[in-house]
Every structure is written in C-alpha cells, then in structure tokens.
Structure 1
Amino acid sequence: MLRTILIFGASAAIAASIPMVYQSNPRLIEGLLRSAVAARPATDTQPDVKLAALQDKPAITQPLGRKFVVEADARGHFTSQFKLNGRQVDGMIDTGATLVAINTSTARRIGLSLNPSDFTRQVNTANGTIKAAVVTVDRLQIGNIQLDDVQAVVLDDKALQTNLIGMSFLTRLQKYQVENGALLLVQ
C-alpha cells in the first residue's frame, strides 16, 4: 500500500511540476518539494515516513463544515498566511508536495528544535536530493480550518524558500477543490 502511495505521489508530483518548470521562476523552482523518499537502514523493518497516516495518539475531533477560500495569485498559485503552532507564516498550497514542507527558519519560529543529526531523510526537490528532518507540527491552521498533529519535513533555508502546505494537510480535509480561480478548503 505504501509503495502504491509513493508511486502515485511521485507520478503526480512529476505531472504537476511540468508547467511550473516553464515559468522560469527561480524562487518558485527552488521552493518546490516534489516527493519524500525515506532513507532507512537495511535492518529497519518499519517505514520511516507514514504518508497521511493516523498518529499514534487519538485525534481530537474537530467540528466539520468549516470552509476557507484561497484566491489564486497573479501566477495562479494558492498562497496564504497560515498558523503553525500558533505562529503566523506565509505558505503556498501545493498538491504536488507529499508532506507539508517548512524551512529551518520557520521551524525555529514555531518552536521546533532540530539538530544536524535530525536531518536523516533524503527528499527529492526540483533542485535535486537533499537531507530533511521529519517532524510533527502540533497545529496547522488556515482561516477557521485547523488540524492537529500534521506530519511535515524541514529543509534547509537555501533549499526551501517558500513553505509548502502539502498533502499531509490536504488529505485530512473533507474536500479541497478549485472553483472559479479559487481553492476551496472544507474541513
């Protein structure tokens, strides 16, 4: 099952990245995270990254029916302000990103303390393969939509200039869809 999800995610990421490559926007290209590939020792039998998996602790029931609309910017991207662990940050919603991806500066601002030894996972970005740390964001909020315990990766600031709100957030919503040039999020 995990293999199927990874293959599907990689295919979706490649397909979604083709139009963006032609935009020749270096800042955007540097910021894209296309797929997470877990690096694991040969003796490890547990998967390193659980894509859209339920967390070990029981989820807090959130009220359903919450909606938020993100208007597309001039380039057609869905950018907005989010709250990560109660701190306001800018980000772009990216259905091609398997996980929420934040840079190290943002991780520090939201209270995540990471050591160089935490960067053990290999992830593929538009700029190649780099090291990342897998973390859990306690709370991710956009408008009145709020999710707890969202899986994310942390990348170096040079590799990720724009925080990405990926599928580890979106798949936990009731729905997300583009309507009239805007992205509708429903919890």
Structure 2
Amino acid sequence: MKPEETVREQKRMGLGMMVLAWITLLGLGALFFSDALERQFNPNRELETRYSEAGVREVVLQRNRYGHYVTSGEINGHPVTFMLDTGATGVAIPDAVAQRLGIARGRAYRTQTANGTAVSYAATLDSVAVGNIVLHNVQAGIAPGMGIEEVLLGMSFLKHIEFTQRGDSLILRQYAPPS
C-alpha cells in the first residue's frame, strides 16, 4: 500500500470513528432527556409507603410540573400510570390500556365527560394499587374515546382513601380495617 493510500484509509477510519462517537453521544443524550421529561410528567414513579403503629398506610405524591398528581401504580398486578381525578366518578381506563391488561368490556353505558356525552363499558377490577395502598373489586369504566395512556383514578377508588393536599404534595391514607 502506498503512503498516500494509508493516510486516506486512516482519515476514513478517523471520520467513521468520529461519526460513531457523535451517534453514541446523541443516543445517550436522547435517553437522558427522555427520562428527565418522564420524571417531570410523573414524579411519583417510585413510591414509598409509610406505616403507622395503628396500621395506617400512607403514600405521599408530588404534583407534576403541569399541576397534576400522576403516579405509577397497578391494576390487577400490571403496571399502569394513574392521573388522580377527583372529578371522575370512577376509574376510567383508555381502551388501549384495557386491551393491554386483558380487561373485558361489560355492559355499555353513557358517561358525561368534559368533551360531552360518550359511551363507556363497565368493568370490575380485581385490584387497584398505589404503592402499598390496595383496594379490591373496584368499579371502572373502559373509555374508547380516551386518547391518553394514563388511567384516570377517580372516586370509585379515592372515596375509600383519605387524602390531604399540602402545598405540592398529596397524602393518601388507607386505614386498617376494624378487627
């Protein structure tokens, strides 16, 4: 190989390595910023449950940057993202999420939403959990028209929980059943 060809080959390899380094750097940056945006939307991805001596379970949620309480949780043992909605009568599950979780549609009924009247389908959830606060046999509605991935955690769950808002925190408490 001539010296000029060796120099050209080395330049080509150097350029290839530089392109590879930039692609790697951009990929890592995208992962970092994607995680940062997710933390801003759902600051409650990892919940800690506190227990009192009286058996009270307590979970503290932080408000997200948009003013909503969004948290990770579970329906029937499967992970979901909840958005707490005290204005919702029940737990409202987007159709795509219900299909992913294998929740069957029950009878159809009309619901009044912020966008007008819609059709939802009744469902009973075996369990709904936020941290270690767990309720069983929770009434829910499967809402085909919901264009979001978050499950609205409404009053069919929240009415069994004491909740108190202080500043940017919402404290959920579940009392031990009487013996």
TM-score strictly above 0.5:
yes
Range that drifts further, 137-146 or 119-128? 119-128
Q: Which residue of 1 aligns with 2:43?
A: none
Q: Which residue of 1 aligns with 2:171?
A: 184
Question: 2 CA distance for matches of 1:84 and 1:64?
Answer: 23
Give the superposition deviation at 1:111. Answer: 2.1
Larger radius of gyration, structure 1 or 2?
Answer: 2
| SS at structure 2 position matched to 1:98 | coil
Higher relative contact order structure (alpha carbons within 8 Å, sequence separation ≥ 6)? 1
Give the superposition deviation at 1:119. Answer: 5.2
Matches within 5 A, 1:82-101: 82-101=73-92
Matches within 5 A, 1:32-111: 64-111=55-102
Question: 1 CA distance for matches of 2:67 and 2:110?
Answer: 29
List runs of 5+ in structure 2 lacking aligned partners.
Answer: 1-53, 175-179
1:166 maps to amino acid: G
Matched pairs, number: 120
| SS at structure 2 position matched to 1:75 | coil
Question: 1 CA distance for matches of 2:88 and 2:73?
Answer: 17
Question: 2 CA distance for matches of 1:128 and 1:160?
Answer: 15
Q: Is the 8 A contact 2:104 2:123 kept in 1?
A: no
The answer to whether structure 1 residue 150 and structure 2 residue 133 are counterparts is no
Closer, same or farther: CA 160–134 of 1 in aligned 2, 3 Å: farther
Measured on the aligned residues, the alpha-carbon RMSD in Å equals 1.5
Question: Taking structure 1 as the reference length, what is the TM-score of the superposition?
Answer: 0.61
2:95 maps to amino acid: T
Identity %: 35
- Pick the structure with more helix per residue: 2
Question: Taking structure 2 as the reference length, what is the TM-score of the superposition?
Answer: 0.63
Give the superposition deviation at 1:126. Answer: 1.3
List runs of 5+ in structure 1 lacking aligned partners.
Answer: 1-62
* Alignment equivalent of 1:120, drawn from 92, 108, 123: 108
| SS at structure 1 position matched to 2:82 | strand
Give the superposition deviation at 1:69. Answer: 0.9
Give the superposition deviation at 1:180. Answer: 2.5
